[in-house]
Amino acid sequence: MQILYNSLIESSISIRIFFWGLPLFYIFTETTPMKSEGLSEKELRTFGEQIRLSGIGQAGQLKIKESRILVIGAGGKGTSAMRCLVGAGVGFIGISDNYVVEQPSLTRQNLYGENALGRQKAIISKQKLSEYSSFTNFEIHNICISEQNIMPIVALYELILDATDNFPAHYLINDAAVKCSKPVVFGSVVHNTSLVTVLNHAGGPSLRCLYPVPPKNKGEYTDNGITAINLLYGITGTLMANEAIKIVLGAESVLNGKLMKFTMGDYAVSFTPIKRNPDNFVH
């Protein structure tokens, strides 16, 4: 489908921004975006500043609007990621989680308050996120994902965010995404370190290439979750949302084939290559 849109006039203002070591060039203009096919006047007003970025424009905003993203896990990472996705103008978000809000999790899950204790995360997430924006539609998958039900859910979306906290879930999501040829944004937290990468994208590696077996021997990962400072969940979710938007826009700087490690204590950032193992893509 051909997309028609009005070009924006570039101004002389150019700002160079480094985001976690990656150079991004934003060009702001003084021009008010004109109405384009697929974007309402209200959307143009709401996302006007974002549309003015040279890497987005009206065509990019339309891609974001038409994107369908599945977030599995509505906890600390998932809630932060979804708030960013809604704020960016993602048109359709699937929320997969069948757990309830619990007291020990409140400090890292920024969508919930004490009045949400004991209530289903997926349902509360949709209610809260709908208050932030009327441009995003939601689908709730309020079930425990398993080998029996995950494939039809994953097939509905173009991109998956794995915001779960244990390796059985990570592998389950990864394997379903490989079979459905869907990219996955993977995020994890270990103590004071955030781990983010993009898997199964553009011929890149899968989770089984990164972790052929669960790294329990290091004492960092358990089936019950990962011990980490609470603030890092929000940072990790934000980074995951950033990667998702970059994939939707077709950016070249996607974390494909490399694991980004961000250490909160000293703000150190490193990138570790992930070697693709073709055997992990044999169905």
Low-confidence ranges of the chain (pLDDT < 50): 1-36, 217, 219-225
CB 62 within 8 A of CB 5: yes
State the Cα–Cα distance between residues 173 and 39, nearest whole angstrom. Answer: 33
Kindly give, in sequence order, each residue whose CB lies less than 8 Å from that of residue 184, ignoring residues fewer than 6 positions away: 159, 160, 161, 162, 173, 174, 177, 198, 199, 200, 201, 207
How do beta strands 268-273 and 258-263 pair?
A: antiparallel
Q: Is 108 left (phi over 0), alpha (psi -120 to 50) or beta?
A: alpha
**3 Cα distance to chain centroid:** 25
SS3 call for 24: strand
State the Cα–Cα distance between residues 55 and 26, nearest whole angstrom. Answer: 7
Residue recorded with tokens 């990667």:
243
pLDDT at 1: 37
pTM equals 0.83
**172 Cα distance to chain centroid:** 18
Domain residue spans of the chain: 1-59, 67-281
Kindly give, in sequence order, each residue whose CB lies less than 8 Å from that of residue 231, ignoring residues fewer than 6 positions away: 108, 264
pLDDT at 31: 36
Residue recorded with tokens 């990621």:
81
CB 261 within 8 A of CB 195: yes
pLDDT at 283: 72
pLDDT at 5: 33
Task: Domain 67-281: give its CATH code.
Answer: 3.40.50.720
Quick: pLDDT tens for 164-195.
Answer: 989 999 999 999 999 999 999 999 998 889 99
Q: How many CB atoms lie within 10 A of CB 253?
A: 12
SS3 call for 279: helix
H helices, E strands: number in the chain: 9, 10
In the chain, the largest separation of any two C-alpha atoms, in whole Å, equals 57
DSSP letter for 135, please. S
pLDDT at 231: 87
pLDDT at 161: 98
SS3 call for 240: helix
Q: Give the chain's end-to-end CA distance (angstroms, integer).
A: 32
Quick: pLDDT tens for 227-272.
Answer: 567 889 999 999 999 999 999 999 999 999 999 999 998 999 999 9
Q: How many CB atoms lie within 10 A of CB 274?
A: 21
pLDDT at 110: 81
